[in-house]
Structure 1
Amino acid sequence: MADQSSALLIPSAAGDAARGSALTRMKLVATGALVLAAVVFVLCKVIGDDHGAWPFVQAASEAAMVGGLADWFAVTALFRHPLGVPIPHTAIIPRKKDQIGESLGDFVQQNFLTPEVVGPRLQAAEIPRRIGEWLCAPDRPEQLAAEFGVAVAGANTVLADDDIRESIGRFADAQLRRLPAAPVVAKVLDLAVEGDQHQVLLSEGLKSLMRFLEDNRDLFRQRVAEESPEWVPSWVDGKVFNRLFASVQNFLADVAGDPDHALRKQFDQRLRDYAEALRTDPHASDRLEQWKSELLDHPAVRNALMSLWTPLKRAVLEAAVDPDSELRRVGVSVIRQTGSALSTDADLQAKCDRWLLGVMRHVLTHYAGELTGVITHTVSRWDAESTSKRLELQVGRDLQFIRINGTVVGSLVGLVIYSLSRLL
């Protein structure tokens, strides 16, 4: 039984006033029938005699009063104590409110929330096709894409950037640490060697090195002079440096300009050997993993991973609110294609129906009790008196016909019984 201090009054519903008026009218009619039977009985007793039809009318009116009173008691006992007297087994609804709620929940669960009942209705609804037609309505994809942009922009106001940055950083770090580096690097090296991209990279590296040496020629010349013995003339240092510098630059130019240079072939072979070692040599793989861990532990790398969120968020927000952005165009296209497929592809509709049925069966099998528990919990929190009044508003008008029928049927049965007693 719910704590009465926390019981909830049932709020008024639309149509309660009309139901109340109809109930009052039917109560007056039923009571009027009972009063009419009583008046007839009194008249029979006062002005009637034992001759003619008077005994039959008196017997019928007497039985009508008994039937009407009995049914009045039965109907009233459902909702309250008749005349306020706490007679046992009366005021059934206020007294059994919680049990009624539990029984109602069980009834709904056993007779409505079952796969056998819900399944055919779910299939008959043709939900995938209807969703597809709704998505394909004119301007609907553009509208939904625009609403998505508004939702994304609105979500930005409640997102905690610091928490998300840390989460993305931790997620990226965990994924990179979990990903074996050796197979990935070996595959990248294989692709680079097969496409000669490593040679392009080597050429660009050699050219960059040549420019670096040329840009810092004076610095290297000064360093050679500092390292040279004091007794060596400066012009000798200059000649030696110039020749050595020119030799290095010429060598680098030869390697950069000759695709068949021996150094290039050695570079090619070294990369192939290293890729193979990463696949077969545990030591090479372990060294690469150690280097990867050291790299990920570096504060600069960790900050870089955490900073991924800011440019990503900015790009998504700008694209979401821009009607001409690629994101919006892709969104519109995806919505339109999805709607077209759902509305026309029978195989896809059948597949979606099977998925919906599977979800329905899972929900009803595991959570039907929780669904009907809403009924039980809600009824248990209702105030007993307001619950009784609300139910009486819903069904009380029809129950008044029981009183009327009791009065009428009682009179007929009384007449029949009296007639048989006179015949016998």
Structure 2
Amino acid sequence: MSEVMDPAADSPFPAMADGRLQALRRMKAISGALLLVAAIVYVLCRAFTDSDGVWGYIQATAEASMVGGLADWFAVTALFRHPLRLPIPHTAIIPRKKDQIGEGLATFVREYFLTSEILGERLAAARVPQRVGDWLADPEHARRLAQELSISVSGMAEMLRDDQLRNSVATFADKRLRQTDMSPLLARLLEAVCDSGQHQAALTTTLRGLAHFLEENRSELRRRVALESPEWVPDWVDDRVFNKGFQLLQSFITDVVGDDGHGLRKGFDDQLRDFAERLRDDPEQIAKVEQTKLEILDHPAVRSYLEDIWGTLKKFILDGAADPESDLRRSAEALTVRAGEVLRDDPDVRGRVNDVLERLAGHVATHYADDLTDVISTTVARWDNEETSRRLELQVGRDLQFIRINGTVVGALAGLAIYTFSRLF
């Protein structure tokens, strides 16, 4: 009565273990053997006894055992195929109802799993931020994550087309620079320089360089004065005038360099701050800066520099990603560890992350639950009917064979009890 199941090598499912198939066959053999034993006992009792006395009890037990075993065999078999290949109504339930089973499973998952309340409860119970924080705070995990990210970044960079990206980056940078109003930026830069005193340091360096330049070229300057002086002026007069003027100039430079409160320094500071104000408020000055900016951007050398930005940036990223000791990798590891520590130790951050996750889960459950569960129903609908039945039987059929065994045993006990009751009363 037991039908042999074909494991079907060509299948959309992963191949099952041979041990599971052997276990199913073994259980089918045991349940079939019990039914066969009951049938043999019944036939022997009918053929060689008068069905009286003890033999009557044995015959009744065997008869009921056959009925129970056959009924449960029919019930179990009817789940997966037509018993004896007869098209009996309400049999081969799984092949016939495969699509409805898939839709029912999808509905069950949608109504009892993909809801905002259930997903929120599970997320809260899972303590996702705490666990993620614990994992990220481990330096070894951070190092591994940085390594994986570097591999991914390197792979993506190699896949990109440099010629297109070079032009795109250059065009983007050029467009942004043309759209940016440079005057306010220069004004803020000048004010920051003045506030920090760096302009005075630059003036000091310039004056010292000028003093050194004048000293290095004193003879050349004296010769130039001689050439410009009238011929009737004696040389000793030229020498005295030049030396006096040169000494006054060097003395003036020395005074400015050594005096932080010198009037020239204050005037220099006032002029820079005034220029910053004009960069912010004077339309004529603003127009000059913008015109200068456009002329610079239109220069071929600037366009070439902008086109080199992508190559420089790519090399920096690839070199940093490939070197475990690079500042880029170390920064990525440090940021990862810091993020993990914040998630692990700061309850406010964990609470905000949990709120975001719960809102995201609720949004997904509200707007995409049908799309997600459609995967179940459409996938089941694509399965072959007979193959689905065979694979499901291979998965759960061994346990179902216990139903046949129980039916045979319970039928025997029920038959014995009924026969005994009828004999007593």
Given the two structures, how large is their TM-score scaled by the length of structure 1? 0.73
CA distance in structure 1 between the partners assigned to 2:46 and 2:143 by the alignment: 85
Report the CA distance between 1:277 and its aligned residue: 4.4
Where in structure 1 are there 5+ consecutive unaligned residues? 1-6, 226-233, 237-242
Report the CA distance between 1:68 and its aligned residue: 2.3
Match of 1:379 in 2: 380
One-letter amino acid of the structure 1 residue matched with residue 35 of structure 2: L
Report the CA distance between 1:92 and its aligned residue: 1.9
Determine which of 12, 16, 21 is the counterpart of 2:15: 12
Match of 1:45 in 2: 46
Q: How does 1:310-349 map to 2 (within 5 A)?
A: 310-349=311-350
Report the CA distance between 1:391 and its aligned residue: 0.7
Report the CA distance between 1:337 and its aligned residue: 3.5
Report the CA distance between 1:396 and its aligned residue: 0.8
CA distance in structure 2 between the partners assigned to 1:290 and 1:29 by the alignment: 96
CA distance in structure 2 between the partners assigned to 1:70 and 1:368 by the alignment: 41
Match of 2:30 in 1: 29
Q: Retained in 1: the 8 A contact 2:139–2:333?
A: no
Give the secondary-structure state (helix, strand or coil) at the position aligned to 1:11. coil
Match of 1:181 in 2: 182
Report the CA distance between 1:35 and its aligned residue: 2.1
One-letter amino acid of the structure 1 residue matched with residue 14 of structure 2: P
Match of 2:74 in 1: 73
Q: Retained in 1: the 8 A contact 2:119–2:362?
A: no
Q: 1:341 to 1:411 in 2, by over 3 A?
A: same
Q: How does 1:14-413 map to 2 (within 5 A)?
A: 16-49=17-50, 51-52=52-53, 54=55, 57-137=58-138, 139-142=140-143, 144-145=145-146, 148-195=149-196, 197-198=198-199, 271-280=272-281, 285=286, 288-289=289-290, 291-413=292-414
Give the secondary-structure state (helix, strand or coil) at the position aligned to 1:90. coil
Q: 1:289 to 1:8 in 2, by over 3 A?
A: farther
Q: Please give the per-residue CA displacement for 1:262-316, whole angstroms capped at 9, x wherever unaligned.
A: 9887765555445334444566556644554454344433332221122233333
Q: 1:300 to 1:371 in 2, by over 3 A?
A: same
Match of 1:240 in 2: none
CA distance in structure 1 between the partners assigned to 2:323 and 2:70 by the alignment: 76
Q: Retained in 1: the 8 A contact 2:165–2:310?
A: yes
CA distance in structure 1 between the partners assigned to 2:358 and 2:194 by the alignment: 52
One-letter amino acid of the structure 1 residue matched with residue 309 of structure 2: L
Give the secondary-structure state (helix, strand or coil) at the position aligned to 1:308. helix
Where in structure 2 are there 5+ consecutive unaligned residues? 1-9, 233-240
Deviates more, 1:48-57 or 1:184-193: 48-57
CA distance in structure 2 between the partners assigned to 1:383 and 1:77 by the alignment: 18
Q: Retained in 2: the 8 A contact 1:129–1:349?
A: yes
Q: 1:252 to 1:277 in 2, by over 3 A?
A: farther
Q: 1:72 to 1:83 in 2, by over 3 A?
A: same
CA distance in structure 1 between the partners assigned to 2:252 and 2:111 by the alignment: 87
Report the CA distance between 1:356 and its aligned residue: 3.7
Report the CA distance between 1:332 and its aligned residue: 3.9
CA distance in structure 2 between the partners assigned to 1:50 and 1:255 by the alignment: 139
CA distance in structure 1 between the partners assigned to 2:37 and 2:324 by the alignment: 78
Q: 1:143 to 1:52 in 2, by over 3 A?
A: closer
Q: 1:252 to 1:408 in 2, by over 3 A?
A: same
One-letter amino acid of the structure 2 residue matched with residue 300 of structure 1: A
Q: Retained in 2: the 8 A contact 1:207–1:253?
A: no
Given the two structures, how large is their TM-score scaled by the length of structure 2? 0.73
Give the secondary-structure state (helix, strand or coil) at the position aligned to 1:307. helix
Q: 1:295 to 1:103 in 2, by over 3 A?
A: farther
Q: Aligned residues, how many?
A: 407
One-letter amino acid of the structure 2 residue matched with residue 101 of structure 1: G
Report the CA distance between 1:24 and its aligned residue: 1.4
Q: 1:372 to 1:286 in 2, by over 3 A?
A: farther
Q: 1:328 to 1:58 in 2, by over 3 A?
A: closer
Report the CA distance between 1:76 and its aligned residue: 0.9
Report the CA distance between 1:144 and its aligned residue: 4.8
CA distance in structure 1 between the partners assigned to 2:424 and 2:317 by the alignment: 98
Q: 1:146 to 1:406 in 2, by over 3 A?
A: closer
Q: Please give the per-residue CA displacement for 1:319-353, whole angstroms capped at 9, x wherever unaligned.
A: 44445443344344334444444444444444444
Percent of residue pairs identical: 49
CA distance in structure 1 between the partners assigned to 2:39 and 2:19 by the alignment: 30
CA distance in structure 2 between the partners assigned to 1:48 and 1:349 by the alignment: 81
Match of 2:3 in 1: none
Deviates more, 1:258-267 or 1:388-397: 258-267
CA distance in structure 1 between the partners assigned to 2:174 and 2:364 by the alignment: 37
Q: 1:332 to 1:403 in 2, by over 3 A?
A: closer
Runs of 4+ with deviation above 6 angstroms = 202-212, 250-257, 259-267, 419-424
Report the CA distance between 1:165 and its aligned residue: 1.9
One-letter amino acid of the structure 1 residue matched with residue 400 of structure 2: L
